[in-house]
Structure 1
Amino acid sequence: MNFIYHTKTAFRAIIHNWKPTILLVISMSIGLVTFILVSAYVTYEQVYDKDFPDSENIFRIVTDVYSHGELIISKPECERALGTVLTENFPEVLDAGFLAGTNNPQYKIGENIFNDQHVYHASPRFLDIFSIRLLQGNPSEVLRQPYTVLLSEATARKYFGNENPVGKTILKYPAFEYRVEGVFRDISEQAHFRANMLLSFHDQMHLPPPVKDLWGETVFYTYLKIKPGTDLSDLENKMNQLVLSHKKGDFEESNLLHQYHLQALHDIHLHSHLSDELQPNAHASYVYLLLVISLLVVVAAGLNYVHFSFAKSLNNAVNTALRKVVGASCSTLVWQSFLESLIIHVASIAVALVVCFLLAPYIQHQFQITVDFSFRNQLFWIGLAVILSLSAIANGIISGLLIGRYNSLELFRLKYTPLASGISFRQLFVAVQFVIVIFIIVAILGINKQLIFLKEKGTGMNIENTLVVKIPQNMRRTSSRINNLDVFEQEMIRNPNVQGITQSSRIPGELPAFNFSFSEKGTGRSGKAAVLVTGLDYFKIFQISFLAGEDLGASTNRNAGCIINQSCLAALGYNNPEGAVGKILNLQDESGFQNLELVVKGVCADFNFRGMREKPGPMIFFDWTENMVWGNYLVKLHSNNQASVIPFIHEKFRATFPNFPFEYLVLEDFYNQQFYREKHLLIMLQAFVLVAIVISTINLFAMAWFIAIARTKEIGIRKVNGARVTEVILMLNRDFVKWVAIAFVIAIPLAYFAMKKWLENFAYKTELSWWIFALAGLLALGIALLTVSWQSWKAATRNPVEALRYE
């Protein structure tokens, strides 16, 4: 009965004070919307790869490649034999399997010609390690014969409909037919890899010899299932000793060394950013930063509740005093306050969930993130229930205790009692809120300045107005599947919108092949370099400057010459670029199958091929396009008028490559994808700062309202004694300015330290200019003054008779 009574009383109090109630619901809803969206995203990211059975015992082998004792590259791949040898030699390794990339992404099923980057060669044991379930096919037989393939459920449905695909053939360009052996259940979207098709890997297949060599190239993504309780550091030591026993001679000959370590499957998505990842991973620091900020927003909204609730109780102090006179205890007031808090929180969560469901598609499209509200995301719903419960209980009890601690006589006088001097928790929280606001504003300005700096900084190459047309890889120009490639190139050049055309094995923004070591013939100078096959006019099209020598196009024997960059020159120990021209380099891949002897024809300046996060490393360029095509045509346009050129290129492409899908991309857009995480973080921080400003504004409004109520008598006396309106406004605003200034002093060193740490991720860094911090402080001060000045003006222009008539 008491519960019903208190509930009715709580509803009456809420309805009676409907204006502050609406503000409270808005404030709490904003905080909860922020937390719900971010926590749904964070929990989605945290459960990557956890759908696989026994996933906590699955590890990936990572290879660190050292040249002359210096770490050159870290990648999540190793040699083909390593996984098998580990299972044979160490009982703690229960199983091993691998994935390997394919050299051509073009396929044909029936009349469907398509590109698919999510196709891999796989060992049979790979299916067992990840417990990939077959819907069709015999698990003990699949992927054991050459030229066989498994399709994902979605791929089978897409290309075969309801027809049974087993026994059908798939053409993999240029001329290999794969027989479908089975269909596997779609792999979870929350996996660090996607696989639409899995191809067999067999020694009788037509594959490059360096790849088929057991201890050849490190291009196999190898996974181990390890016995629980295994000492991983001990296993890593034994693994390194085992490889050394097989490859010691190769390491000594090439002046290279491989070091291997194990990476937990659960660590890959959030904590792994190696070269050649199967797909882009999330940054744990960014994910947790967003979660922390969203929690701070919820705390800010909760303390707003306390402020408003106390200010409301202060305004109704006389009514509360009368209730105490007739027998209401402190616990009764706390209980009613809790019920009011519960009602407001239920209303807020209802509003917040509706808003979140409406915003979710926009958020996912705008920020390229996934927010998971499904009930399978139990971590999210548990977290939300805990946060909501804590907020409702804490806010309700605190609000009740703040007013319940006064006796009835104090409550009769409380409305017009001046505020106590000194520091209150409300003032401290104003400072904390503006520390958050200033910190986020500095982060936004700093990140934006860094991105602008990187885009405007010269990369050493001109990639503007360049289209990349995808063509077959590693195919002879004279292949019957290509119709007169010379005519295609000539037609491109004749187009008045086309400035030039060339080929390359990789395009700027990609990782070039990094499996070659080089040494100068007759000397001990050597190193590890990225190699790139380029066509004629490559350096001319990208406007890459030469320090010495000549372009490959000027050479009488294109196949025998190479170009090295400035970093490669330094690795060879030359200070004068002219000194390296004419020298002979021996190039050898990891497997030892490819041994090249090339004459240095020229030295080019360093340019940022892969991206702006790292400084350029040694690179070697050679032209093997006379007889082969290498996957990419680079078409340089005179202007950014792509729309008029693309139909022309499409038409000529269809005539030249009739059996291949037409695919192109804008090179500058592709290259700038390296900044997509920072761009999304920037957009999210902009949304956060708007939310933080709104909540801070509501909080300041509550504070100003509270102060105006508490100092009503004081203001009335001052006005009776001749105080002007501006003097009263300045008096009321002074405290807020002081606490914003304190927030500025606290926030600046924190923001400076955080931005300095973040900038360490980049090889090229902008300066953290003083104006970034000054502007953040001025914006925070402007927000504070605009918010409180309205309430201060209302208090200053009020008739003093209203304040003094009760005295």
Structure 2
Amino acid sequence: MWNIKFVLKSLKKSFSITFINIIGFSLGLCVTFFLIQYLLNEYSYDSFQKDKDRIFRVAVKSYQKDKFEDETYVYTSEMGTALKQDFPGVEQYATISYPKSDIFYYNNSPFKIEHYRYASSGFFQLFSFNLKEGDPQKALENPYSLVVTEKLAESLFGNHDPVGKQLILNDQNYTITGVAADPPKNTDVRFNMLISFSTRYKQKNVYMGWNGGNQYIHYIKLVSGTDITTLSAKADTFMWKYINKDYEKVNIKDEIYFQPLPDIHLHHNADSGWLRTSILTFSMIALMLLVVVIINFINLFIANAGKQLKTMGLVKIHGASRSRTIKYLLTEIAVLISVSILIALALVSLFHPWFEQLAGKPIPTIAESGFAYALLIVCTILIVTLLSAFFPSLFISSVQPSKIIKNNVAVGKSGKTLKNGLVVFQFFISILLIVATLTLQKQIRFMQGFNSGYDKENVLILPLQTSELRKKADLLKQEIAKISGVKNSCAVSEVPYDGLTSNGYFPEGKATPELINVIDVDEDFLSMLNISVTKGENFSQEMGTDDNAYLVNEALVKKMGWDDPIGKTIRRGGVHPIIGVVKDFNFASLRSSILPLIITNKSWDGYFNYLLVKTSGTNISETIKEIAEKWENVVPNSLFEYSFLDQQFDQAYRIELSIQRLVQFFSVVTILIALLGLLGLSKFSIDNRVKEIGVRKVNGATISEILMLLNKNYVALIVTAFGLAVPLSWFVMNKLLENFAYKTGLSWWIFALAGILALGIALLTVSWQSWRAATRNPVEALRYE
């Protein structure tokens, strides 16, 4: 109790330094705790699955003429069934579709359900998702049956039991047979609703079987004790039996392999590369933040050594042992850190929704994070406490009392060197983060402003989400064209911003199929988006044969090596003549170069899925209101939704945007913490030189001379940090930009601006203290001399 009282009294005497220390510690620990949540979440994906070590996702590598062509985990519908049938080591399989969204009806009211999937009957036997109501073995067995999550059930039916109720999709009744608990945030198998996979075999224009569309994801669970290498050894025979025997005729071969469930999120998804980059980046930031926090603490203790030594001298003179002295110091440190931890945890809880928004993904709260998070937090606190306490307590407790009483103690040259080195390190990290933020921002702006080859400004995307809407696409176009704020419109199968469907085609002169991207459009597509035809001509309503014709892009012509593609043919479900070549445009993100593309004038099922509407750009809200009215008139009681093409294009870079936002946030926090430390150091340093400043003013020194005297050391430290940070940041940013096929350059001004910002902010922080000291009346400082 004596220790606590004595510590609190001592801290009160140095209130400003104590306050700065607590604020710096709290901010640093808050951000570190957030980062631990983020990293733990990424590493724990699907860890809740009971038999995760026995569950694998089936992936396929495709070869053409023994040359690797493509790799995917999305395949045709029959893979899972065949694996269960042919291999006794497969205990269960689950086949699911890609996430979908559609308009459903309940009591004649339309509502949109996003992220629903088709799932086979073994879904709840293979995965550990909790089915709160319904039979796990039968809920997804029969056609037109579905399972909803608790959250969706509550939004649709309130407190009423949903089981047995019916929803309508495309004029077909679907019966709810179960209610599942909401999937955890850390799973790649997310869903809001599941529809029985057997339903797919009942639907029209859905191609199932081994030669159907690549739309399905297959998981298998092995019998306990079965080695996956046993299946892998027989994979070639299995694929020969079902598909490669036919593919051999055209020199194509598909190979399957099995991806362990715990490895999928970080190693086998489309964005896994960027995810690993972000994890490495944020791990380094978390480590650097902890170092900065510890450095601040040590620096402020060293700076405050004079007051601490006088206190320790009095304690030692009264007979206190070195162990008691160290106990006192550790008590003071424990008080500081305990208060900081409580503030940090409160901030984590308060700002958790904002951090989720910043990260662009769901992140578990403190309560949801469980034992692993608590253990990491405790370990972090222990490490920070021990490292922060070790040097100050060892240094201060080792000083002899006789030297303290004679005022014969100084931090010394080595202490000053250490302090300066720590300041340099803090701003070295800060400059690195500023450069990273500016470079990512420049790259994202480059991508957003990049000439994608078509005009995406003021273009509305209107989903045709029901069969009735799709059937009336032409009528909708006609009605919308009457609106004064509408310049043009077109119907498309997909929106060209984040990749398009690809299929196998036989271009003229090729005996083997080529995997080529495709988009189905009407004749207004090119003119509306301002895509130019470089050879041949566009589709035309007057030319009835255009229904069977193709347009191709320049990338396809180049790949095929055609000098004159007009008149050449491409085979798939018939022979299609090429009537025109369009200028290359980016229909996917700038991470990859422009791929070959086929443009058709006829959708595969006779209907288009979207209307694109080009507006004048003036009074858009009124134009949208008028479109909604036309929409309701043509198809009453239908849901009207819209988005902007340029915004969707930007969303293709959501991962880069979230990383840029997070790095920007961490940069600000790191600089703020560094400046808090600098503020404390400069305050203490200037307070110790008040008499010196007074003497210099009495002897004629001007305010500008005193400011220069007090600031020059900090200028030298920031310049040193800048010189060390530039080469490393140049190397790291060049490596980062290699992830993009189209990228901005590293400009000199980024590094100059980073240095100027660091120097300017640091000087503003120090100069505030310096100005107060330089403008102070020297009589106050020399009154008692």
- What SS is found at the alignment partner of 1:191? coil
Deviation at 1:733, TM superposition (A): 3.5
- TM-score, normalisation: structure 2: 0.91
Distance 2:186 2:605 in 1: 43
Q: How does 1:17-56 map to 2 (within 5 A)?
A: 17-56=14-53
Distance 1:801 1:641 in 2: 68
The aligned counterpart of 1:382 is 375
The aligned counterpart of 2:529 is 542
237 and 558 in structure 1: CA distance in 2 versus 1, 3 angstrom threshold: farther
The aligned counterpart of 1:681 is 659
Distance 2:252 2:424 in 1: 56
Question: Is 1:97 aligned with 2:89?
Answer: no
Distance 1:137 1:429 in 2: 62
Percent identical among aligned pairs is 29
Question: Is 1:194 aligned with 2:182?
Answer: no
Confirm or deny: 8 A CA contact 1:254 1:517 kept in the other structure. no
Question: Is 1:293 aligned with 2:285?
Answer: yes
- What SS is found at the alignment partner of 1:633? strand
Confirm or deny: 8 A CA contact 2:516 2:596 kept in the other structure. yes
The aligned counterpart of 2:682 is 704
Distance 1:55 1:72 in 2: 30
Question: Is 1:629 aligned with 2:629?
Answer: no
Confirm or deny: 8 A CA contact 2:200 2:206 kept in the other structure. no
Q: How does 1:514-525 map to 2 (within 5 A)?
A: 514-520=502-508, 524=511
377 and 263 in structure 1: CA distance in 2 versus 1, 3 angstrom threshold: same
Question: Is 1:495 aligned with 2:483?
Answer: yes
Distance 2:470 2:444 in 1: 42
- What SS is found at the alignment partner of 1:135? strand
Q: How does 1:718-797 map to 2 (within 5 A)?
A: 729-792=707-770
1:561 maps to a residue whose letter is: A
- Correspondence for 1:451 among 441, 444, 449: 444
Confirm or deny: 8 A CA contact 2:76 2:208 kept in the other structure. no
Confirm or deny: 8 A CA contact 1:725 1:796 kept in the other structure. yes
The aligned counterpart of 2:270 is 274
Offset from partner CA, 1:395-424 (integer Å, 9 cap, x none): 234322121221123323557748426973
Distance 2:470 2:442 in 1: 47
Question: Is 1:363 aligned with 2:355?
Answer: yes
236 and 798 in structure 1: CA distance in 2 versus 1, 3 angstrom threshold: farther
Deviation at 1:255, TM superposition (A): 4.7
Offset from partner CA, 1:516-563 (integer Å, 9 cap, x none): 33321x554752101111112101111111121110126332221010
- Correspondence for 1:251 among 217, 237, 247: 247
The aligned counterpart of 1:532 is 519
The aligned counterpart of 1:583 is 568
- TM-score, normalisation: structure 1: 0.89
- What SS is found at the alignment partner of 1:49? coil
Distance 1:773 1:791 in 2: 28
The aligned counterpart of 2:338 is 346
- What SS is found at the alignment partner of 1:124? coil
The aligned counterpart of 2:421 is 428
Confirm or deny: 8 A CA contact 2:250 2:511 kept in the other structure. no
- Correspondence for 1:691 among 669, 672, 694: 669
2:534 maps to a residue whose letter is: L
Deviation at 1:441, TM superposition (A): 0.7
Deviates more, 1:144-153 or 1:715-724: 715-724
Confirm or deny: 8 A CA contact 2:490 2:522 kept in the other structure. yes
User: Gapped runs of 5+ residues in structure 1?
Assistant: 588-594
Question: Is 1:306 aligned with 2:310?
Answer: no
Offset from partner CA, 1:134-156 (integer Å, 9 cap, x none): 33333333333322222333333
The aligned counterpart of 2:559 is 571
Q: How does 1:477-488 map to 2 (within 5 A)?
A: 486-488=474-476
Q: CA RMSD in A?
A: 3.2
Deviation at 1:749, TM superposition (A): 2.0
Confirm or deny: 8 A CA contact 1:269 1:282 kept in the other structure. no
Distance 2:330 2:600 in 1: 75
Question: Is 1:441 aligned with 2:434?
Answer: yes
Q: How does 1:94-173 map to 2 (within 5 A)?
A: 94-101=91-98, 105-173=102-170
Confirm or deny: 8 A CA contact 1:526 1:571 kept in the other structure. no
Confirm or deny: 8 A CA contact 2:185 2:364 kept in the other structure. no
Confirm or deny: 8 A CA contact 1:82 1:243 kept in the other structure. no
Confirm or deny: 8 A CA contact 1:430 1:739 kept in the other structure. yes
Distance 2:426 2:443 in 1: 26
1:585 maps to a residue whose letter is: I
1:123 maps to a residue whose letter is: S
Confirm or deny: 8 A CA contact 1:99 1:222 kept in the other structure. yes
1:184 maps to a residue whose letter is: A
Deviation at 1:249, TM superposition (A): 4.0
User: Gapped runs of 5+ residues in structure 2?
Assistant: none
The aligned counterpart of 2:222 is 226
Distance 1:619 1:257 in 2: 23
169 and 722 in structure 1: CA distance in 2 versus 1, 3 angstrom threshold: closer
Distance 1:327 1:85 in 2: 83
Distance 1:555 1:328 in 2: 102
Distance 1:674 1:210 in 2: 28
Confirm or deny: 8 A CA contact 2:498 2:652 kept in the other structure. no
Distance 1:52 1:281 in 2: 24
- Correspondence for 1:84 among 59, 65, 81: 81
Offset from partner CA, 1:350-405 (integer Å, 9 cap, x none): 22233333322333345534443333412222222222233234323432212122
Confirm or deny: 8 A CA contact 1:297 1:692 kept in the other structure. yes
Q: How does 1:791-806 map to 2 (within 5 A)?
A: 791-792=769-770
Confirm or deny: 8 A CA contact 1:147 1:205 kept in the other structure. no
Confirm or deny: 8 A CA contact 1:74 1:274 kept in the other structure. no
Deviation at 1:283, TM superposition (A): 1.8
Count of matched residue pairs: 783
Offset from partner CA, 1:230-270 (integer Å, 9 cap, x none): 66566445324421343224433455433333223233334
Confirm or deny: 8 A CA contact 1:436 1:747 kept in the other structure. yes
Offset from partner CA, 1:611-655 (integer Å, 9 cap, x none): 222111111111116993211111111225321122222222223
1:466 maps to a residue whose letter is: V
Question: Is 1:412 aligned with 2:405?
Answer: yes
The aligned counterpart of 1:590 is none
Distance 1:421 1:376 in 2: 47
- Correspondence for 1:611 among 576, 589, 598: 589
1:556 maps to a residue whose letter is: G
485 and 687 in structure 1: CA distance in 2 versus 1, 3 angstrom threshold: closer
229 and 691 in structure 1: CA distance in 2 versus 1, 3 angstrom threshold: farther
Deviation at 1:222, TM superposition (A): 0.6
1:183 maps to a residue whose letter is: V
Deviates more, 1:184-193 or 1:705-714: 705-714
Deviates more, 1:449-458 or 1:220-229: 220-229
Offset from partner CA, 1:588-629 (integer Å, 9 cap, x none): xxxxxxx23211010111111122221111111111169932
- What SS is found at the alignment partner of 2:61? strand
The aligned counterpart of 1:651 is 629
Question: Is 1:263 aligned with 2:266?
Answer: no
Confirm or deny: 8 A CA contact 2:547 2:602 kept in the other structure. yes
The aligned counterpart of 2:544 is 556
